[in-house]
Amino acid sequence: MRQTEFVVLGLLSESPMTGYQIKKIIDLRFRFFWNESYGQLYPTLKSLTRRGLIEETGTARKGRRNQRTYELKPQGLKELQDWLAQPVERESLRLEILLKMYFSNLVSAETMLGHVEAFREKHQRDLKWLELAKAELESIIDRHPNHPRVLRVVDFGITVNEAYLKWSGETIRYLGSEA
């Protein structure tokens, strides 16, 4: 539980950061398998600080409106490692497009076709971005001990998005023949 806490702890294990930077990284690098909102993030940072798992180091840098940089404390690292060792228990996904596909005999083939085409385009963009990220990562693979494992995550994204595109193609062909 409290998965947001572990994302924060994990990112801070790489380097000290502000809440804003954490959000940016999640939106950029985790976007194909994770999301967080500021409404979750900032309160989580406060709570982790209060509990001594992280600490605020560089507050109120010149210019910036009270910019707060957080750092991981030993206790935070310990809890992060404990969590990493626990079996994965939550695998939540909700794919609205499959729900719509399932009930789509109630609308025209063209309507459903539009949905699937939008789905394909989204995941084509995702795939392109992931392939770029992979190339970049491979060129600096020895720079950080974490990189080979991050590459496994990127490869997951690539593999799954390719599967999405395969399905989209088949489905568009099927719906096209119906229409």
Return the amino acid letter for 147. Answer: H
Residue 17: its H or E element: strand 17-18
Nearest-5° Cα angle at 24, 18 to 26: 105
Residues 15-34 that bind its own copies (CB under 8 A): 30, 33-34
Distance CA 174, CA 172 (A): 5
Distance CA 147, CA 141 (A): 6
With binding defined as CB under 7 A, does residue 20 bind DNA? yes
Return the amino acid letter for 58. Answer: G
Only segment of 39-47, 55-63, 88-96, 132-140 that touches its own copies (CB under 8 A):
88-96
Using CB under 7 A, list all residues that contact DNA: 1-4, 18-21, 24, 35-40, 42-43, 45-46, 62-69, 92, 94
Using CB under 8 A, list all residues that contact its own copies: 3, 6-7, 10, 13, 30, 33-35, 77, 80-81, 84-85, 87-107, 111-112, 114-115, 118-119, 145-146, 148-150, 152-153, 155-156, 159-160, 162-164, 166-167, 170-171, 174
